[in-house]
Structure 1
Amino acid sequence: MFRSGNYRLITRTSSALSPRSRRTAALLAVGALTVAVTSACAHATAGTTSDVGASASSSSTNSGTPATSLRLGYFANVTHSTAITEVANGTLAKDLGSTTLSTSIYSSGPTEMTALLSGQLDAAYVGPSSALSAWTKSDKQGLTIVAGAEDAGAELVVNSSITSAAQLKGKTIADPQLGNTQDVALRYWLKTQGYTTTLQGGGDVTVQPEANATTLSLFKEGKIDGAWLPEPWASRLVVEGKGHVLVDEKTLWPGGNFATTNLVVATSYLQAHPQTVAELLDAQIATNTWITANPSAAQTLIGAQIKKLTGSTITAAEIARAWGEEAVTNDPLVSSLSTSLAHAVATGQLKNTSLTGIFDLTLLNQELAKAGLSSVPTS
């Protein structure tokens, strides 16, 4: 069950299987699942031209030694489809070979990043604002963004009585956690609408950080007026909570593209074990290719895994709706991070700073080339 703050489910998988050719068999096995959900929406890989410089770093080759273990964090959300799938179907464990994989499930980015910076995780799928905050708190040394994972997939859902931004004064709007990606987006959007908020919950509109499951319950009970949430929680508020979308975040970004989830690695781990990070990227690339080609089977798999990981059932209608709101990608959409930083600065959550060094896409582009795929922009 969900509980306030983070929830964690630890699984451990060890494998001595190193040949990457076995990854294809695993993916085909998943593709043979009986498909219970259909969707007209392709979960297509996204990409844009980027403006922020990415570092060309020391991980230009797969030198170093394979790690004995990889501790990976992610969420039981549709916006973490890549991680859910590559763990569930065994692709990641197989690509890691003799490296032992352990996974931890979180419900919020800031909590997950605290675990990464404190040495409890080696890598994590996380929202860009949470990664950016952790990077600055660690004097720009603690983590490196090595890939994207999800494009879009967040909305402001409100009750039926609210039909415009002008009605939000005095209302209470929830989001996952203070300082997370949706929290920054919500506070900045409210600022553009002329509203004040405070980090303590004051101002014209009360922003109330809650665990996503708690937010759904509060919304259904009429105790909050809306929430800015990632998928599938936005869809759950629409389907189960009978709410409606006031703001689809895609409408606020050029081309509708913005990073919702990136893959980050502890910088010390990246420097010591680039070969293992390359294997992690190989698993992601293969998984995203499979998800894009098999959207219905992927929805079935992800819905079942979310139930397994959280004990909460996501209906077929909710998964299908969520699927159309976001897309897996290997591209971290570098340029969108500058905008995320500007929003965090405008809302008083971060100070302006250079982003030089936060990205290292060297290994990603190396592994994409090996897979016969196009590279992603580094600037």
Structure 2
Amino acid sequence: FAATIALAQTDIKRVLAYSTVSQLGYMFLGCGVGAFASGMFHVTTHAFFKALLFLGSGSVILALHHEQDMRRMGGLAKYLPITYWTMLAGCLAISGIPPLAGFFSKDEILAATFGTHALPVSMGQILWAVGLLTALLTAFYMTRLMGLTFWGEPRWAAAHAHHGKDDVHGHHGEPKESPPSMTVPLMILAVLSVVGGFIGGFAPLHIPNRFEAFLEPSAGLKVLGKQALGHLPVSVEWMLVWASVAAAVLGIWFGWVRYRRGLPENERELTGVRKVLYNQYYYDWLMVKGVGLWLGGRIANWMWQFVDVRLVDGLVNGIAGFTGWVGSSLRRVQTGYVRNYAFTILIGAIVLLVWLLIRGASAGLAR
């Protein structure tokens, strides 16, 4: 769901934001099939390359004087070489290209999903197919991000001149690489994105998973049991590895073919399916106007009419009315004449005397 939304976003940070939502789905998928350590491993590798990509996007935005629309970028590879090459490493890592970090963690989750015994028969294979499709979409929209930002002809000069951003921000000339305070962390994160996956081992080659061993006391299969994770034959594991790599390569190839020259002409305006994806399937509109205003308004109106007016106000007004009625009734005996009060006392005394006589007679008969 989130991966398809990322396909049509034009804001570089929104692409990465929806990518993060998509990768969270991988983490929950791993935990859902019992591969808790694999899910946590993807959290770790994802921290490497997604931090790299967000910081790299910040470097691009800084170079373009706070421009975030990728349609107004392009051709930045030669102007921001460190940002470009480090973001390219992050792009390949999140796409699942071996031997980068994302490949190992994604492969673990997909293999665990394919062979899980924690779900009904064939459900694991269906979820594996969904995960594989998501891997292809991830590789495609990340290649799209790189193409629109760094490849093709520069579009930022015309965009900035049209919007007057050079004059507003006081910047002139070509984009410049970010200072070391940004490029050094980019390079460190790029190294981690390349080699960070080796701490997780590799099952087809029988390389031990030191990360899983480290998490065993807290992330072991204490709830589902060891039988929840199936043990796949080595041939099946290699088949899953090649399928995962093929999906990543195919997604990158599709992205390269479409975006290697920068922004395609038919994507300059949002129309058709791209408009639907750009607007997140109109989920926000549905939640705000559909559920929030229409359904929520009717529920609020019913709560006001029934709960507030009839129950709450009715109870409060009822108590107040009863109190007023009691007060009005008692007010009639407050005449201010002594003779009336004396008469009332006499009547009370007679009633009390009669009650005592009846009680005494009843006690005598009981004996």
- Shared topology, TM-score over 0.5? no
What TM-score do you get using the length of structure 2 for normalisation? 0.26
Between Structure 1 and Structure 2, whose CA radius of gyration is higher? 2
What TM-score do you get using the length of structure 1 for normalisation? 0.25
Higher relative CO (CA 8 A, sep ≥ 6), structure 1 or 2? 1
Say which structure is richer in strand.
1
Say which structure is richer in helix.
2
